[in-house]
Amino acid sequence: MRHLLADMGAAELAEWRAYEQITGPLGGARSDMHAAIVAAAICAVNTPKGKTPRPPADFIPRWDRVRVRKTPEELFQQAMAAHTALGGQVNVRDN
């Protein structure tokens, strides 16, 4: 974590945190598919003859199923809170 914070500013870290909250764990889609394939294979060899085994898609978690959806403004405020909590500064431009 120390190395990450040394190489990445608070603003970028806050953006990645907000992105991960929307899309699920970073890099997880590929790992989820690998795990789903293994789970489906295990199910397939244990499925009784004459029954159709479950496809890998049945074992992939859906990260987009959020009980409480947040507005873009709420996500932005949450990202800014994380940004300032990590020592970042918010620069406001006058129009």
11: which 2 tokens?
Answer: 């603003």
Task: Please report the pLDDT score of residue 16 as a whole number.
Answer: 84
Integer angstrom CA distances of residue 12 from 48, 72, 81: 51, 17, 13
Q: Nearest to residue 18, comparing CAs of 88, 73, 91?
A: 73
Per-residue pLDDT of 12-41, as tens digits, reads 888 888 888 887 666 667 788 889 999 999
**53-93 pLDDT, tens per residue?**
999 999 988 876 656 778 888 888 888 888 888 888 777 77
Share of the chain above pLDDT 70, in %: 81
What are the residue ranges spanned by the domains of the chain?
Answer: 10-25+66-89, 27-62
What was the pLDDT predicted at 12? Answer: 86
Q: Are 45 and 17 in contact (CB under 8 A)?
A: no
Predicted TM-score (pTM) of this structure: 0.43
Question: Which single residue is written with the structure tokens 């990590």?
Answer: 86
Token representation of residue 41? 């294979």
